[in-house]
Every structure is written in C-alpha cells, then in structure tokens.
Amino acid sequence: MCSTLNLEEAETCKLCGSRLKPTGRLGTPSEEPGSQMRLPSTGELPPWLARLRKDVTGRGNLPPDLPPGEPSAPDSEELPLSTPEGGPDWLGRMRQAESEDEGPPEGEVPDWIAKAAPAPSPAPAEGEVPAWLARIRAKAEAEAPIQETPEQEAWPSPAAPEEATPPPAPSSPDLIPEPPATLGIPDWLLGNRPEDSPAAPEPEAPSQPSWLTVSDSDTTGKLPHVPALILDEAGALPPVRDEELGPISVEVPDWMTELQAPPTAAPPEARSNLAPATLPAWLEAMRPVETFRSVVEIEPEEDQTVEAAGPLAGLRGVLLAEPVMAMPRMPTVGGGRLEVTERQFAQAELLHRLVEEEQREAKARPQARARPPLLRWLVSIVLFVAAAVPTFAGGPAFPLPLLQPRELDVLASLVDGAPAGQPVLVVFDYEAGYAGELEAVAGPLIDHLMNRGLPLATLSTRPTGPPLAERLVAQVAARHGAVRQEAFLHLGYLSGGPTAVQLFAAAPTQAVFRGYLGPGGSPWLEPMLQRVHALSDFGMVVVITTGTEIARVWAEQTQPWLAGRPLVMVLSAGAEPMVRPYYEALQPKVQGILSGLPAAVAYELRLAAPGIAQTRWNGFGLGLTGVEGFLIIGLLYGIVAWVLRGRGA
C-alpha cells in the first residue's frame, strides 16, 4: 500500500485518506505484543498473558514469510535465538500450537489439573476470574461455527491479513481486562486457515462484517469497562497532557480529547519507577514536546520491527482498514455506538503507547547523554593510588594492631592443642579471586600448623580449589622445608559442592578418589593418611572460605561426624557476621574463627613471623581510609540533598 511511500511527514495518504499517521501508529500498538500486555492493570496478568499468547501466536510465526528486503536483520544480528526460521508451514504449526495451548495449566496444585484440563486457555490456571472465563469459553465455542462457514467458502485466504493485522477487535479488548474478543478471533482465525495463504489484503474488506459483528457482540459485554478505565486513570492526569497531546488532537476528532486522559495517566507508577527523582521539574515540563517529536522520529524503525513480524510485511496501512471499513458498517446491528467506542479504544491505545514511548525516551534520552561516570573515575583513581602508594613509595606506615582479638587466643590454643601426628584437614573453599585476601589471612594459621609439624591434607569443593591450595601451602611449606606427600598433600577436588560435603563427612575415603599433584593413585594410601578412615581421624578441620553458605554447610553437615574435633573457620571479612552465631552459640559448631587482615597481622605478630599479611597492611590501611572518606562524603551529601529537597517540597 502507499503508506510506505509517504512517511510520517505526510498527514494524508492518497489511498488511505487523511488518517494515515494515527492509523500508522494505530497499527503499531495492536501489532506489538507489548500493547496487548500493557493495558490490563498489572493485577490482570494471566488474562493478558493469555491474550498476548493468542493474539500473537499467528504473527509470531510469520517472519519466515517476509520479503528478503525486510529487516529482520537486527534480530538475527543480535542473536541466533531470535532469527526467524521454519518454512511456510507456519500455519500448520500454528494450529498445532493452538491445540497445544489446550493443555492443563502448568504449576498448579495437582488435583486442579483435572478440572482445568478442558480450559481453552491456561487463564483458569491462575485461579482467577473463573466467572468471565466461562463466558469467554462459551463465546469462543459459539463463535467458531458461525465464522467457519463464510470463511471457508467465500474467503479462502483472508485469514492471513486479518490475523496479521489484529484490527479493532483484538485491539479493543486490549484496553479492557477481559479477553473475549481476542480469545474468539484467533480461535476461528487459526481454526480454519488454509495452508497456503499468500498475504492478500483485498479480500479483507468483504471479510470484515463477519468478524466485526463478532467483535461487536463481544464488546457489548465489555462496554461497562470503558468508563471504568477512564475514571480510574483520569485522576492521576499530569497537567502537561494538553500540550503533550496537542499535535494529535489536531489529527483526531475532538472526542479524542476526553480520551487523552487514560493513556496519559496510565502508567503513573511506571513513571515513578522509570526516572525516580532524576527529572527536575523544568525538564518534566519540557518533556512532552521534545519527546513527542522523538517518538515521531523513531516511528519508522519501530514500524519496521513490527512489519518484520507480519506476513503483510510492508502493509503498514492495513490497520487503516479498521476505521475506513468500519464506518460504513456502523449502522449494522447496534454497531454505531460500539464502533465509536472501539475507535476510542484504539485511539486511547495509541495515546497509551505514545505516552509510554515518551516515558521511555524521557528515561533513556536525558540520562544517556547526561553524565560520564565522573564519580566512578574519581573513586577508581583515588582507590588505586591509595592502595598502590605504600607499595611503590613505601608510603605511610600504619601502626600495627597492639591488642589481639579475643578469638585469636582461642584459635592459637586450639592449634597448640591439636594432637601431634594426626593430619589436619584444610578445606580451600574460595574463589581464585579471593586468594589475595584469604592467603594473607590464612597464611599465619598454615604457618602455625606447619610449625607444629602437623601434616596437612587439603581439600576443595570447587574445581579451582586444588591449585589455590597448592599456591598457599607450597609457599608456606617452602619456608619450613616441608616435603610434599609427607608434610602435606592435596586430596583434590570434591565434586558436588555442598551436597558432597556430607558425603565426604560420612565417608571421606569414598568421596575423594585421586589426589592433586600426587604421584597418582588414591591419596589415602599415602603414609600420612593411612590412619584416616573417618572425618574424626583428622586432628582438626580448617575451612577457608568466602561464602557464608559453604561455611554454614561445613558447620552443620559435618557436625555429627566430627566427634568433637575442632572446626576452625578462616573467613573473608564479609562472611564473618554470618558465621559468628555458630561460633558464639552455647553449643558452638565452630570452635575457632579467624577473619580479617587485622587479626591475621596480630597472628603474625604473635608468631613473630612477619608474612604476607604485614606486607599488605599499609596499602590496606590507606585504601580503607580512602573508602571511608568516600562513604562519609556520600553520607553527608545524601543527607544534605535530602534535607534540602525536603525543604523545597
């Protein structure tokens, strides 16, 4: 049709008459699934789900039919997943799809399935509005026969065009949280679509009455909802709406003006969600003009995406058929009043979308250009410098902690009290990324254990654990001249994550098959592990972890098998508060706890063995100081801004 020739600039089109633009956009909403989704209040999700599903089922299958010229490119470019594929047999598939839809709803209490099975749409699944659903069902069944006869004899092909351009009937229920029409139409549309339907718009005209009457009969049931919808939302009407919609009201009959209310006000909550307090008042005021323009600008590409999804690719004016065809029909069965309401629905729908476009633009546009991440740059530079200075420049020296945390004495005495000769199980359960922290924190403990000459057996429930264990243990062992497989060995990776912890606790020797970096064969045959058959044969269990979850699992799942052996946790600073309850409980499940660099430094001081922890101390101190500075400034700034805003309001 000509609409492709005269784009948005043209108000009128030689063929389609003067309502080219509004209809052009009229097409968009009803052709976009989103519009089906939008209008029912969020409370009505299942209905719009069902509608969305039904309305679009056909169109969703169409892409294969669009001419090569049509840009479905963006999709395929983005993603293999959205590249349309499948042959012209989409109709067949669609019918089957429809039938598939008649399954029992998913995710229900089992005994409902029986009841819900015959439902034509999964709507009842949601356990809502069974009343209207019954009605719809009745309608849907009633319609099918009526439509079929004229459809099949007279119009072999019109199915495709109509189906591709869900005209008033589909679009009208969109405004109403009730899907009868949409339920009805696709049913008969899909029900008897000839396998080979080339997109032929012409037959569309005569085919109108049949479904139009249907939609009428449908909409009669819904009339009461129209005022409801308007009233609901007119309340939240922003003052700017007039100029907002001025351009349109030029194009549309004056009755439109009263209709401008619902769409404008429709997503008030949406607005608050979109740009919360980011738009200053003046910008808010300016918004409509510019954003309306922006909508117009983006319209063509929007249309394209829509067309790409239709077999009527290129027939942008198709929806135009609605008002043009419909008006002569008005006199038919009480259609007059109805017809108007339908167009009102359609127009309101259009405005709805316009406003939503605006919101999206208003959200995206101003911010997108607005601020380069200056704050992030500043923070990055400050933190990097602060953390690096002590390293490169020797930097400011922070005083080492004098007093030792209470739990450090407990931990050290645990290590000193560990039975000599019995191996200690050290579980490395942290991401490689945290090696920087936990190697510094756990270093002194490993050092202490090796001081006591306790053989170490490492384990990990993460695939990347064994190399991390090797990193740390080998490093410390080198200092003590400890020999691999005699003073320490790696049991390797315990697969299965938290689940496997229990398996290991119950029967260690059956949970781990092969060591890591060992001579091969079962590590349990090594002399240092020969006497180990159960978890309690380890003199002590040390868990080095960042995750509160894994820490909880070790604390809880291994309890029964530890038989009183101490469980020690070396924790990333963030995880400590979550594990402390296990440590401080009246019957503690964790006997020792070591967390945070200060504790590690104190440990090193206690052992009089300066190590990794102390080399990090100054950088840690300066970096943390920088962070504290930012947080304080942020807090003050936030409060001030808050107070000022409060005054203003």
Partner 1 sequence: MTVQDWLTMAVLLALAAALVVLALAERRWPTKLRRVAAFAALDSAIERAVEAGERVHLSLGTGSLIGSDCAPALAGAMALAKIAEATTMSDRPVVASAGDGALAVLAQDALRGAYARTGAKEHYRATTGRMLGPTPFSYAAALPVILSSEKVSVHLLIGSFGAEGALAAEMGERQRAYVLAGSDDIQTQALFFTTAEHVLVGEEVFVSGAYLQGTAMQRASLRLQDLVRLALVAAILAGTILATLGVAL
Partner 2 sequence: MRSGLHFLWTALAILFGTLVLAGYVLDSPALQSIRSLLMQWAVILAAAALLLGLVNMLSVHWNKVGAQEKGWPYSALLLLALLATFILGLVFGPDSSLLSALFNDIQQPVEASLVALLAVTLTVAGFRLVARRRNLASVVFAVSALIVLLGTGPWLVGGNGSFFLTMGELRAWWSQVWAAGGARGLLLGVALGATVTGLRVLLGSDRPYGD
Partner 3 sequence: MTDAALLELIGTAVAALLTIMVLSYALGDNAFFRLAAYLFIGVAAGYAGAVAWHDVLEPRLIAPLLAAGPAIVNDSTQLVQVVAPILLVILLLSKVAPTMGRLGGLPVALMVGVGAGVVVGGAITGTLVPQTLAAMGSLNPAGVAPQTGETGLERLVNVLIVLLGTVSTLSYFRLTGRGDQADSARYGMRPIRTPIVTISIPWPILPFLGEMFIALTFGVMFAGALSAVILVLVERLQFLAGAGNIILGGLLAAP
Binding residues (CB under 8 A) for partner 3: these are 373, 376-377, 380, 383-384, 387-388, 391-392, 406-407, 410, 433-437, 440, 463-464, 492-493, 495, 498-499, 513-514, 546, 552-553, 556-557, 572-578, 581, 583-586, 588-589, 596-597, 615-616, 619-620, 623-624, 627
Helix, strand, or coil (residue 221): coil
CA–CA separation, 458 and 523 (whole Å): 11
- Provide the pairing of β-strand 424-429 with 567-571: unpaired
122 binds, among partner 1, partner 3, partner 2, none (CB under 5 to 8 A by kind): partner 1
Residue 575: CB atoms within 10 Å:
21
Residues 277, 368, 374, 649: which binds partner 1 (CB under 8 A)? 368
Token digits of residue 481: 């001249």
Residues 6+ apart with CB under 8 A from 499: none
49 binds, among partner 2, partner 3, partner 1, none (CB under 5 to 8 A by kind): partner 1
CA–CA separation, 580 and 617 (whole Å): 24
Minimum distance, C-beta of residue 203 to partner 1, in the bound complex (Å): 26
326 vs 468, beta carbon nearer partner 2: 468
Q: Within 160-219, which residues bind partner 1 (CB under 8 A)?
A: none
* Nearest C-alpha neighbor of 472 from the set 456, 453, 494, 461: 456
* Nearest C-alpha neighbor of 185 from the set 87, 95, 54: 54
639 binds, among partner 1, partner 2, partner 3, none (CB under 5 to 8 A by kind): partner 2
Residues 500, 534, 607, 609: which binds partner 2 (CB under 8 A)? 500
Residues 49, 214, 248, 326: which binds partner 1 (CB under 8 A)? 49
Minimum distance, C-beta of residue 161 to partner 1, in the bound complex (Å): 19
165 touches 319 (CB < 8 A): yes
Q: Does 626 bind partner 1 (CB under 8 A)?
A: no
CA–CA separation, 215 and 320 (whole Å): 17
Q: Is 448 exposed, middle or buried (0-12, 13-18, 19+ CB in 10 A)?
A: buried
Q: Does 375 bind partner 1 (CB under 8 A)?
A: no
What are the Cα distances from residue 236, in Å, to 101, 232, 266?
38, 8, 8
Given the rule CB under 8 A, which of 386-394, 403-411, 415-423, 426-434 is the region that contacts partner 1? 426-434
82 vs 615, beta carbon nearer partner 1: 82
Element (H, E) at 282: helix 281-308
Place of tokens 């407990």: 410
430 touches 544 (CB < 8 A): yes
Minimum distance, C-beta of residue 557 to partner 2, in the bound complex (Å): 10
Minimum distance, C-beta of residue 449 to partner 3, in the bound complex (Å): 21
550 touches 461 (CB < 8 A): yes
70 vs 549, beta carbon nearer partner 3: 549
CA-atom Rg of the chain in angstroms: 35
CA–CA separation, 420 and 449 (whole Å): 10
274 vs 578, beta carbon nearer partner 3: 578
CA–CA separation, 410 and 412 (whole Å): 6
CA–CA separation, 56 and 74 (whole Å): 20
DSSP state of 563: T
Minimum distance, C-beta of residue 222 to partner 1, in the bound complex (Å): 21
Q: Within 492-511, which residues bind partner 1 (CB under 8 A)?
A: 496-499
Query: How far does CA 522 lie from the centroid of its chain?
Result: 45
Site string for partner 1, 66-95 (x = CB under 8 A): ---------x--xxxxx--xx---x--xx-
DSSP state of 537: G
Minimum distance, C-beta of residue 513 to partner 3, in the bound complex (Å): 4
368 binds, among partner 3, partner 2, partner 1, none (CB under 5 to 8 A by kind): partner 1
Residues 202, 269, 297, 628: which binds partner 1 (CB under 8 A)? 269
Place of tokens 């092969």: 514
Q: Does 405 bind partner 1 (CB under 8 A)?
A: no
374 binds, among partner 2, partner 3, partner 1, none (CB under 5 to 8 A by kind): none
392 binds, among partner 1, partner 2, partner 3, none (CB under 5 to 8 A by kind): partner 3
304 vs 546, beta carbon nearer partner 3: 546
632 binds, among partner 2, partner 3, partner 1, none (CB under 5 to 8 A by kind): partner 2
142 vs 585, beta carbon nearer partner 2: 585
Q: CA-based angle 203:206:208, to the nearest 5?
A: 105
113 vs 627, beta carbon nearer partner 3: 627
637 binds, among partner 3, partner 2, partner 1, none (CB under 5 to 8 A by kind): partner 2
Dihedral sign from CA coordinates of 602, 603, 609, 614:
negative
Q: Does 380 bind partner 1 (CB under 8 A)?
A: no
Q: Does 383 bind partner 2 (CB under 8 A)?
A: yes
Q: Within 462-481, which residues bind partner 2 (CB under 8 A)?
A: 463-464, 466-468, 470-471
* Nearest C-alpha neighbor of 454 from the set 491, 414, 493, 492: 414
- Phi-psi label, residue 12: left if phi above 0, alpha if psi -120 to 50, beta otherwise: beta
363 vs 552, beta carbon nearer partner 3: 552
Q: Is 469 exposed, middle or buried (0-12, 13-18, 19+ CB in 10 A)?
A: buried
Q: Does 100 bind partner 1 (CB under 8 A)?
A: yes
547 binds, among partner 3, partner 1, partner 2, none (CB under 5 to 8 A by kind): partner 1
DSSP state of 212: H
Q: Does 101 bind partner 1 (CB under 8 A)?
A: yes
514 touches 521 (CB < 8 A): yes
595 touches 601 (CB < 8 A): no
549 binds, among partner 2, partner 3, partner 1, none (CB under 5 to 8 A by kind): partner 1
635 binds, among partner 3, partner 2, partner 1, none (CB under 5 to 8 A by kind): partner 2
* Nearest C-alpha neighbor of 173 from the set 332, 38, 23, 321: 38
Residues 106, 281, 282, 371: which binds partner 2 (CB under 8 A)? 106
578 vs 624, beta carbon nearer partner 1: 578
471 binds, among partner 2, partner 1, partner 3, none (CB under 5 to 8 A by kind): partner 2
Q: Does 364 bind partner 1 (CB under 8 A)?
A: yes
Helix, strand, or coil (residue 254): coil
Q: Within 525-554, which residues bind partner 2 (CB under 8 A)?
A: none
